[in-house]
Structure 1
Amino acid sequence: MNNTKPAYITLLLALLHGVAGISILVISSWFIAVSAIAPVGFNYVIPAVVIRALALLRIASGYASMWVGHNDLLARIANIRLSVFSQLENTQINEKALTTEALAQHTEELASRWIAWIAPLSSATFIFTCLCVVAVGFGFPGAGLLIALFVVWSIALVLQGVGALRIAKRATHANARFRQASTNFLNSSAIWHLSTAFTNTREGKTTCADESHTLQGLEHDVATNREAAEVSAPDINIKDVSAKVVWHEKIAQKNTADRTAWWFQGVAFLLVVLTMSGAFSITQTLLFAPIAIVVPMVLLAAPDWAGNAFSSISKFAQYKQSVKALQQMKATPIKMLCEREINTAVTLTEFSVTGRRTSKVNTNLPARGVVCVSGASGCGKSSLLQGLAGLLPADGKREIDGVNMPPGLVTNWRYVEQEPVILSGSLALNLDPAGRCISHSEFITLMQELGLEKLLPLTTWVGKAGRPLSGGERKRVALARAILAKPRVLLVDEPFEGLDIHTQQRVCDVLNRYATDKLVVIASHVTPKALVVQKNVQLDEASMVAVNGEHRATL
């Protein structure tokens, strides 16, 4: 991030591009006026050659500015994201609205500031200032009109900037509310039937014989699940958090910039009309001094070379909001534990995740091999894996070879989530985000073993947050990323979901091979025959017995 040389080069090229453009306008307007009154023998070649050279310079500087700017943009995105990753290292984000996609958007806004608003605004300001100075210095007829338009442009820029900041703030809050509500809405989708049943029971629509018992049970289940999900489907105010609100704020930002540009264009055209109609003394000068046509032509073209600044102000407003969002990002530290070797077993005693309605587990996990945690949906398989990894606080004991482990995340244990995070980048970036210099052959071999040959080569862009990938492909990419990290314990959540039988076989082969000298714990409601399971842990209701009012899994 400290290397600002490419950014300055981008700025200089943008200035050169703008200066070349306005120079073409000035020389062309003068050339047209001179051609009308030029005497015999006037050399038309030199002005034409100068205009052609300026046109080539404008094209070259434009392409060069884009090339240098976008290369600088990619480097800055990488550096800023590494900085954010460092900031979030060994921590957990508290806000559900600050998703990976939101972080990607904010980092892009920070990285693109040079080509998004610094270069355009600097170029327009520099050109406008130079035009006014040159017009006054050389005594151009109508220089006062140019200064007046510069003042109008500056005022419009400030006013639009104030409005853009307000809209950007509303848009950021609307986006955050929408992401939060969407997460809560989807998290509670599994209990919507409970809400419906609870409502029907309240309305007297139940036909259950023991109505009071049913009512109490539903009331308890709905309350418990709502607390876990924070909000259920009926609690969401769609009007306040719908995507339409977010879209409306984005449209408002664009409309504000367009409206300001139209007003500025109207003022510029009005000055041109007044000039040509004889309202100013410059009209008389046009008949005797061809140079006087320069100012009206500059005024006429002002919306083209100065109007883009209003869109840049909107980008500036979004940049300020992204800076604020990243500065206010709250994360809870996760205690990191040193790497632990397992000689005999991992023992769980009365183990359960804190605050989750799950059973207390008592079992021994072997030092190596595949352990399959199975059970009905909602019985706590994912919670068990996250608690075992140390991502969630847990009660009870978690011991390695008889030694109790304190709360925290073990450095060489990896958890592969059910809905994995895919970065907006290349396949290689997703497989090795930390840049551990993994060999190319190791990448290729694992991708082929997992049936991901179609995604090769490693430079393949996986799209925005991996959206072009299927659910099964995202799962296997995340699994490959975890395996390449070579963890001592690999915890995988629902790796076979959404995969056909043939692909399940390939994933099983990879997991079986990895489990020859490592511990692999898999939470799944599907257990393919090809998976060599060392031990089964059942967490469904049938395997729970009530002891002193508590639930314990009998394993």
Structure 2
Amino acid sequence: MREASSSNTIKAEVNAKSQGLKLVATLLLMLTHFAAGLAILIVASWFIAACSIAGMGFNYMLPAVVIRGLAILRTTTGYCQMLVGHNHLLNKLAALRLSIFAALENKVSISRKQSLDALHHHSEEVAGIWIAWVGQNVGVLLSLVMLNLVSIFLLPSLTTTVIIFTGIFMFIYLGLLIAMLKVSTHIVAAKKQAQFAIIQHIESAPIWHLLQSYKKNSPSLNALRKLEASQQRQIRNASLLLLLSGVGLLITILSHYSGQYIGHAEFIVLPILLLTLNDWLTPALANQKQLATYVESKKEIKTVSTNIHQLSVISEHLDAIDVAKFKPIDTNMSETNAHFNKGGVNVLVGGSGVGKSRFLQALAGLIAHQGSRELEFTNHVQSNEHGLLCDAVYLEQFPYVLSDSVRANLQVANPNASDVKMREVLNAVGLYSLNNLDQWLGENGRLLSGGEKKRLGLARAMLSKANLLLLDEPFESLDIENIKRMREIINRLSINKIVIVATHILPKGLFIRQCCPLELNANDVKQGIMQQSKSSALS
């Protein structure tokens, strides 16, 4: 074991060094690419001016060869930078997503959507920062350094003017960056609000016909559009300010120094660079949007990684559960004392909104609770530790269906289940139409009705080898025939498993072992249910 651990550590170190070398190589290639592009501009502009004033002995071949060599260098480094840079990007993205997965393992996230956004969109923005922003901006700063070096060595009397221009550019650059970071926070908030409004609007499609004015109730994106337009306006204003600064500098140079440098071909270099600002400096201003997006994405990933409850994992097989003064945190339900065992259905009693679903989740260890939860295992060992119960299946009120085949959705509960066994449980719950296990169920199971999703969830519970079944509203969205079918299955499962049901629908013939009131005024309901259960058993 030690040797394996040491080997994994060495591999991780080698991989980290490899990624570091790729990053350094990417940055060097980016810098070479930018430098070659600017060098082509400088040499080509000098060559054009030199040709117009050169005598018969001027060597026209050498500058042309230099320009061609620089062009080849620029093209080669561009392709190599893409090859190495994107390889580093993909490896970085994979490592980042694996780290997010590791952070979420055996933990409960506040929001499933927030986790998915972090894995998909935010991880791409964070991993791509080197290619999308760092390399680009380092190249721009290198270009400014080259501009100042050209003025120092070729045009010394223009050095002060060029330094002033460099200062103006940095002022515009930093000012835009600060403005971008400020507005990006508002854009992220507006996007979240707009996404929530759109999802809410789409999910309310079945009642659109009841709305007096569809347009009045449709979500508006005006706030988001205004913020994004403001962001684009800031970029345009910064670009215009830079262009005006360049034109002002160009007028100053031509009006004050053209006479001094008449007949000097190198003088043309600076005016050409200023006339091509849109090509080599202005893109850096528009690029600041990438950094603002990166900063917000970094925050979101950190939020996903920190706003979670750390859970231990309890893998032993359950035989019984005792709870004392038990209730989920952040609920107003009364504290519960109960003993949950096999041999009948344990029913949770309480009004709508009291927290029956949260009680089941807390019992499984999916969310935190207060009070004691004493676990009795099949080897008669007792434990009062907090943690996620592996020997439990929680059937949600609205079961989650994977965007995959019938087989994949059933193998979630039991990866080793045979095709024969899967078809058997599907037939048992009345899902005869899903006997083709390779049938795709659509995105998030959109091809299934609410009742079919409920029965698919029960089929999972039947396939599972877990000893604890937590069923949230198992009879909801079902017709009378399917309610009877579900009742028989649950009665059969409760013989050898601990079955706890939260429901408002109690079909006759349900073998109720005990009722647990989750609020003080639920005792009358409990007495009525137990009386109904006894009369059903006698009949």
Which residue identity does 2:312 align to in structure 1? M
In structure 1, the partner of 2:291 is 316
The structure 1 residue matched to 2:464, chosen from 512, 515, 521, is: 515
In 1, Cα distance between equivalents of 2:35 and 2:460: 60
Between 391-400 and 289-298, report the one with greater CA deviation: 391-400
Q: Structure 1 CA distance, aligned partners of 2:466 and 2:109?
A: 33
Q: Does residue 137 of structure 2 align to residue 121 of structure 1?
A: yes
Q: Does 1:305 align with 2:280?
A: yes
Partner of residue 255, structure 2: 279
Match for 2:388 among 396, 399, 409?
409
Task: Give the Cα–Cα distance (whole angstroms) in 2 for the partners of residues 545 and 520 of structure 1.
Answer: 16
Instruction: Check 1:51–1:406 CA distance in 2 against 1; reply closer, same or farther (3 A cut).
Output: same
Aligned-residue identity in percent:
24
Structure 1's 517 and 323: CA in aligned 2 closer, same or farther, altered over 3 A?
Answer: closer
Per the alignment, residue 488 of structure 1 pairs with none
Match of 2:504 in 1: 540
Deviations 1:393-420 (A, max 9, x none): 4578675458575543225656576575
With the length of structure 1 as denominator, give the TM-score of the two structures.
Answer: 0.63
Q: Is the 8 A contact 2:393 2:461 kept in 1?
A: no
Which structure dedicates a bigger proportion of its chain to helix?
2
| Residue aligning to 1:156 | 172
CA pair 127-415 structure 1, distance change in 2 beyond 3 A: farther
CA deviation string 1:201-254 (max 9, x = no partner): xxxxxxxxxxxxxxxxxxxxxxxxxxxxxxxxxxxxx99x96543443333333
How far off is 1:304 after superposition?
A: 1.3
Q: Which runs of 5+ in 1 are unaligned?
A: 197-237, 432-437, 456-468, 476-495
Matched, 1:336 2:308: no
Q: Give the distance between the partners of 2:191 and 2:182, measured in 1 at CA.
A: 14
Cα distance, 1:21 vs structure 2: 0.7
Over the aligned positions, Cα root-mean-square deviation in angstroms equals 5.4
Task: Tell me which amino acid in the other structure corresponds to 2:183.
Answer: I
SS at match of 1:285: coil
- Asked which structure has the greater CA Rg, the reply is 2
Q: Matched residues in 1 for 2:402 and 2:280: separation?
A: 40
Q: 1:452 to 1:129 in 2, by over 3 A?
A: farther
Q: 1:155 to 1:307 in 2, by over 3 A?
A: same
TM-score by length of 2: 0.65
Change (3 A) 1:389 1:507: closer
* Corresponding residue pairs, total: 451
Residue 481 of structure 1 aligns with which residue? none
Closer/same/farther in 2, CA of residues 386 and 356 from structure 1, 3 Å limit: farther
Q: 1:32 to 1:117 in 2, by over 3 A?
A: same
Q: Measure the CA separation in 2 of the matches of 1:163 and 1:422.
A: 42
Which of 445, 452, 457 is matched with 1:472 structurally?
445
Query: Is the 8 Å Cα contact of residues 141 and 282 (structure 1) preserved in structure 2?
Result: no
Residue 230 of structure 2 corresponds to which residue in structure 1?
252
TM-superposed CA distance for 1:297, in Å, is 0.8
Q: Which residue of 1 aligns with 2:39?
A: 23
CA distance in 2, matches of 1:242, 1:102: 25
Amino acid across the alignment from 1:319: Y
1:549 is matched with 521
Deviation at 1:102, TM superposition (A): 4.9
Where 1:280 maps in the other structure, the secondary structure is helix
Which whole-Å CA distance do the structure 2 matches of 1:519 and 1:379 have between them? 22
Q: How does 1:65-104 map to 2 (within 5 A)?
A: 65-88=81-104, 90-93=106-109, 98-102=114-118, 104=120
Residue 410 of structure 1 aligns with an amino acid whose one-letter code is L
Structure 2: state its 5+ residue gaps.
1-15, 212-216, 410-414, 424-433, 495-500, 508-514, 534-539
Number of the residue aligned with 1:53: 69
Match of 1:266 in 2: 244
- CA deviations on 1:165-201 (whole Å, 9 max, x unpaired) are 2212333444566678889x79x989x9xxx9xxxxx
Q: Using the TM superposition, give the Cα deviation of residue 306 of structure 1 relative to its aligned residue in structure 2, in angstroms.
A: 1.4
* Most deviating of 544-553 and 52-61: 544-553
| Secondary structure of 2:86 counterpart | helix
